Amino acid sequence: MSSLIGTYECKVDTKGRLMLPSGLKKQLLPILQNGFVLKRAVFQPCLELYPMAEWELLMQRMNKLNRFKKKNNDFIRRFTAGVKIIEVDATGRLLIPKDLVAFADISKEIVVSSAINIVEIWDKDKYEQAIDDATGDFADLAEEVMGQDDDDYGIS
C-alpha cells in the first residue's frame, strides 16, 4: 500500500460512528473489504486505524519477540490492549468502540489524519493541542530525524 494523504475534520455521532471522509475513503477503496484494526496509540491520546495488511506485517514483526522475556511479554500485552477488528459498513461508516472512545477522550468533533500507512483518529481539541505543543520543537526534530548528509541523497 502506498502512503495515505490528508487530514480531515469530522463528526462522530452519539453511538461512536464515524463517516470516513470521501478523500480518505477513495484512497482506502482497494482495501476496504479486508477490514481494519483499531487500537490505542502508544505515544499520544489518540487511536490508530491499521489496514489489515499493515496490521499483519506488524504482527509478523512482533511475533518474532521472545515471549519468555518479561519486557517483551509486557510490551505485547500493553500494545494489543483494547485492539478491535473494525469493518466499514456499506455507507462508509465505522464504529469506534466505547472503550476506545473513552481512551482517546473523543467528543463530537474529531480529526482523522493520515500517518503514512495508518490513520490516526483524534479528538479535535487534543489534536490541535498536540500540534501546538510540537510546533516549537519541530525544526529541531525535523533536522534530527530527516537531516541526513547530502551524500545520502546522491548529491556531491
pLDDT single digits (tens) 13-46? 999 999 999 999 998 988 888 999 999 999 999 9
Comparing 34 with 154, the larger pLDDT belongs to 34
Average pLDDT over residues 66-78: 93
Domains and CATH numbers, the chain: 7-125 (3.40.1550.20)
Q: Which own/partner pairs from 101-105 qualify as long-range (CB within 8 Å, at least 24 positions apart)?
A: 101/12, 101/16, 103/40, 103/45, 103/47, 104/40, 104/41, 104/45, 104/46, 104/47, 105/45
- pTM score: 0.86
